[in-house]
Structure 1
Amino acid sequence: MGNIPEGGLITNEAFREIFQSMSEGIIMVDTRGRIVVANPMAEQLFGYGTDALTGLMLEDLLPQRYRGGHVHFRSAFNSNPFPRRMGVGRDLTALRQDGSEFPVEISLSFTKVKGELLVMAFISDISLRKKTEDALKRSEEQLIVYAAELEKKVEMRTEALNHTILKLEDEVNERKKAEEEVRKSLEKERELNELKTKFVSIASHEFRTPLSTVLSSASLIDQYNDRGEPDKIHKHVQRIKSSVNQLTGILNDFLSLGKLEEGREDVVHEVIYPKEFLDEIEEEISGFLKEGQHLVLDCRMEASEIVCDARILRNILFNLITNASKYSDVNKPIYITCMNNGPFVNFEVRDEGIGIPLEDQKHMFDRFFRASNAGNVQGTGLGLNIVKRYIDLLKGTISFTSEYGKGTRFIVAIPISTNDQPK
């Protein structure tokens, strides 16, 4: 079977057959970085003959300028292995046997064979994609700026999220001072591991669709540009922007959750004028609604102002309105009402969407929970959990009623003056 030795690392015939026929290059290395097996596609990508990769160091496949740094990265992965993409936000370059370089995309995983850690690298030649991206950059200057800003935001938010998780882990370790603190620390650690697992699962699933959309649209834009079809180019630029908004929303959910977990969300007391505030939200969110959808605002406040945290209140309403839009058909209105309720002001968000099944309603504020009828609508299952925690910070309440297939009404009650509430 080529470079897969009989009775060696891969003994199952079906698995060996899959390994041999994969369209991605696959290389397995030991903890020293030495290649122990590679599939034919990997040999083809790097320009080596059958079994010629076996025994080489992984750094032999990298340009000389990257080899020193990569030894450090490899050591760090061996000490804390977990499945991930390699070089997020950076261009990765590999070296063929003939000395030429080519761009690659690499995903890392690991396994153990007879107690020894083996790292698996899944490698794809993305030269065609790079050519497509370069062509797109030359023809769409505005898209270049947008893509550059997106890349920077993704890097910053990914770094912030990693920092948040590491900081939470450090705090868990520091709380082990007494038996009760140990119990609480262990529980916190379990929750963090669950969060990481959920994040990897959701990120791999939720990122795949919009990223595939970006890639396919970018390829089609290049074709339509050659044919001189600006209408179709505009359509796919809009698809790319929509996919970017989906990715940004996912990252914002995880960053918000991290801040709430750390207790780093402070309430800022400021004067808000509800009617003007809702008008601003309507203007801001209009670009995120489906075709034909619009907000119907009805502000019945007796008082002209309230004292609250505008950023937190905006995030609460923005999340509820976005959900109403996602789970409603095109051309369906979304009703927003604000009115006095004693020392509180009620903000109601009502839609005519798919509703929430009765058996799911008790779980709607649970972390990572999604209703059984959510279907293919994208989401992390974090939005309402974050909304509930924001409302708790404001000393408010949230409730809802829903009828399956007919719509949902959320009611948020916020103190007219958060200054008057006990801390």
Structure 2
Amino acid sequence: MENTVLLKAIIENAIDGLITIDERGVIESINPSACKLFHYRQDEVIGHNISILMPQPDRSQHDGYLHHYQKTGNASIIGFGRELIGMKKDGSQFPFRLGVSEVKYSGRTIYAGFIHDLSREKEAESRLQEYAALLEHQVEERTHSLSQSLQTLQKTQDELRLSLDKEKELGQLKSRFVSIASHEFRTPLSMVQLSASLIDRYAETLNSPNIGKHVGKIKDAVLNITAILNDFLSLEKLNSGKVNPQLTRFNLSAMAAELAGEMQVALKGNQKIIFKHRGESHMIRLDQGLLKNCMVILIDNALKYSGEESNIWLYTKINKSVCTVRICDNGIGIPETDQKHLFEPFFRAHNTGTISGNGLGLSILSRYASLMGGSVSFKSRINRGTLFTLTFPTNDHE
């Protein structure tokens, strides 16, 4: 008796539903959990065929399943777990897992069905499938977007490569043009210079100052054009990487003194070039040709932009770590707004007026200095002059 009461208590309080039917499929008992699942009271289902808890087509085919099993012994549900759809009193449906056991009792056969509601699991599974589908869709979109980006990138790379090839080809054509044009111009310019000198010589007997004046203009023009061509050639060599410093040991003070003498021919009026070397050391190891070009550019600019009564100071100095070359003038100076552009190719300050020049000298100078591991700096004030300083590592010196 006690065992019976205990068994009944277990069945009544079981979380899962429990329904028993007879051999004809008629419901004999149903526990509270099953009633709650199907929204029926016990008295509404007991005595009715179990098919009332099933949707079509299981409802109309259930008795046939049961009869087939009883006749053949081939079970499709009994003894197995299976997922089915149940129908509640209001007609709504829900998924559940059904396990059916066959019980022989007092000469009768009873079938006990254990019902586990799968609504939450199916809902979670559905959400998971939706999330997985969403992720898959996002992955497809991202993959497609990445594929398009890669195609765009490849196209951009191809266009860039083509553009670079064209730019390289144009650069080579430009370099060849500059080189050829510069060399070709030199021959007629030399002829013009020679002819001007001959005219000047023959005109001496005519005693005509006007002839000498115009011949002088011709010679100055030829010199200016020659200087421009030399600058273009220097720039072309720098751009094509043809300038490689050749370091040699030489006497800096002797070279500077000699250069100061050579530049006397470029003086205007009463201009003077004053040279002074500081320090006991005189020998340095640099590219003498490049350094001389740098100094010529600075001295020529100092003369060009200074008055006819001006002095140009050239200082050289060597110590244990660096050597410096300073060129100082008291000319027109460089406007502060122009100073940041001073070493850009073809740039000229706004106060140069009609003074000749092509804006290449300082750009070439800075690149020469950089090739030798040096630097160039300057200080300038309007109408108070300019000081340029070239600084190089001492390298090997005595």
Q: When the two structures are superposed, what TM-score results if normalisation uses the length of structure 2?
A: 0.51
Q: For 1:387, which of 365, 371, 374 is the aligned residue?
A: 365
Counterpart amino acid of 1:268? Q
- Which digits, 9 at most, give the CA deviation of each residue in 1:182-239, with x for residues without a partner? 5644665787899999x9xxx9xxx9xxx9xx89x96xx69x9498216554444433
For residues 180 and 399 of structure 1, the distance between their equivalents in structure 2, rounded to whole angstroms, comes to 37
> What is the CA distance between 1:415 and its match in structure 2?
1.9
Counterpart amino acid of 2:384? K
> What is the CA distance between 1:301 and its match in structure 2?
3.1
Counterpart amino acid of 1:334? I
Q: For 2:266, which of 281, 285, 288 is the aligned residue?
A: 288
Does the Cα contact within 8 Å between 2:249 and 2:396 map onto a contact in 1? Answer: no
For residues 276 and 297 of structure 2, the distance between their equivalents in structure 1, rounded to whole angstroms, comes to 19
Give the SS at the match of 2:379. strand
Q: For 2:321, which of 327, 343, 357 is the aligned residue?
A: 343
Percent identical across equivalent pairs? 37
Q: For 2:239, which of 217, 239, 261 is the aligned residue?
A: 261
Pick closer, same or farther for the CA change 1:355–1:192 going to 2, 3 Å.
farther
Q: For 2:292, which of 314, 318, 339 is the aligned residue?
A: 314
Pick closer, same or farther for the CA change 1:293–1:196 going to 2, 3 Å.
farther
- 2:251 matches 1:273: yes
Residues 398-413 of structure 1: pairs in structure 2 closer than 5 A = 398-413=376-391
Give the SS at the match of 1:296. strand
Q: For 1:298, which of 276, 300, 323 is the aligned residue?
A: 276
Counterpart amino acid of 1:398? V
For residues 218 and 168 of structure 2, the distance between their equivalents in structure 1, rounded to whole angstroms, comes to 38
> What is the CA distance between 1:399 and its match in structure 2?
0.6
Pick closer, same or farther for the CA change 1:336–1:247 going to 2, 3 Å.
same
Please provide the CA RMSD for this pair: 3.7
Counterpart amino acid of 1:377? I
Match of 2:87 in 1: none
For residues 386 and 176 of structure 2, the distance between their equivalents in structure 1, rounded to whole angstroms, comes to 31
Q: When the two structures are superposed, what TM-score results if normalisation uses the length of structure 1?
A: 0.48
For residues 392 and 400 of structure 1, the distance between their equivalents in structure 2, rounded to whole angstroms, comes to 15
For residues 352 and 242 of structure 1, the distance between their equivalents in structure 2, rounded to whole angstroms, comes to 24
Pick closer, same or farther for the CA change 1:226–1:387 going to 2, 3 Å.
closer
> What is the CA distance between 1:181 and its match in structure 2?
5.0
For residues 329 and 221 of structure 2, the distance between their equivalents in structure 1, rounded to whole angstroms, comes to 24
- Which digits, 9 at most, give the CA deviation of each residue in 1:403-422, with x for residues without a partner? 01111111000222289xxx
- 2:220 matches 1:242: yes
Counterpart amino acid of 2:223? N
For residues 308 and 324 of structure 2, the distance between their equivalents in structure 1, rounded to whole angstroms, comes to 27
Give the SS at the match of 1:303. coil
Q: Runs of 5+ in structure 1 lacking a partner?
A: 1-176
Match of 1:136 in 2: none
Does the Cα contact within 8 Å between 2:203 and 2:212 map onto a contact in 1? Answer: no
Residues 319-338 of structure 1: pairs in structure 2 closer than 5 A = 319-338=297-316
- Which digits, 9 at most, give the CA deviation of each residue in 1:375-414, with x for residues without a partner? 0011111111111111111010001110011111110002
For residues 272 and 361 of structure 1, the distance between their equivalents in structure 2, rounded to whole angstroms, comes to 33
> What is the CA distance between 1:251 and its match in structure 2?
0.5
Give the SS at the match of 2:274. strand
Does the Cα contact within 8 Å between 2:268 and 2:308 map onto a contact in 1? Answer: yes
Match of 1:75 in 2: none
For residues 385 and 374 of structure 1, the distance between their equivalents in structure 2, rounded to whole angstroms, comes to 17
Aligned length: 230
**Bigger Cα Rg:** 2
> What is the CA distance between 1:313 and its match in structure 2?
0.6
For residues 238 and 244 of structure 2, the distance between their equivalents in structure 1, rounded to whole angstroms, comes to 9
Pick closer, same or farther for the CA change 1:183–1:288 going to 2, 3 Å.
same
Pick closer, same or farther for the CA change 1:226–1:360 going to 2, 3 Å.
closer
Match of 1:414 in 2: 392
Pick closer, same or farther for the CA change 1:373–1:194 going to 2, 3 Å.
farther
For residues 160 and 366 of structure 2, the distance between their equivalents in structure 1, rounded to whole angstroms, comes to 28
For residues 286 and 274 of structure 2, the distance between their equivalents in structure 1, rounded to whole angstroms, comes to 23
> What is the CA distance between 1:332 and its match in structure 2?
0.4
Pick closer, same or farther for the CA change 1:272–1:181 going to 2, 3 Å.
farther
Pick closer, same or farther for the CA change 1:378–1:182 going to 2, 3 Å.
same
Does the Cα contact within 8 Å between 2:281 and 2:319 map onto a contact in 1? Answer: no
For residues 276 and 329 of structure 1, the distance between their equivalents in structure 2, rounded to whole angstroms, comes to 27
> What is the CA distance between 1:242 and its match in structure 2?
2.0
For residues 182 and 329 of structure 1, the distance between their equivalents in structure 2, rounded to whole angstroms, comes to 52
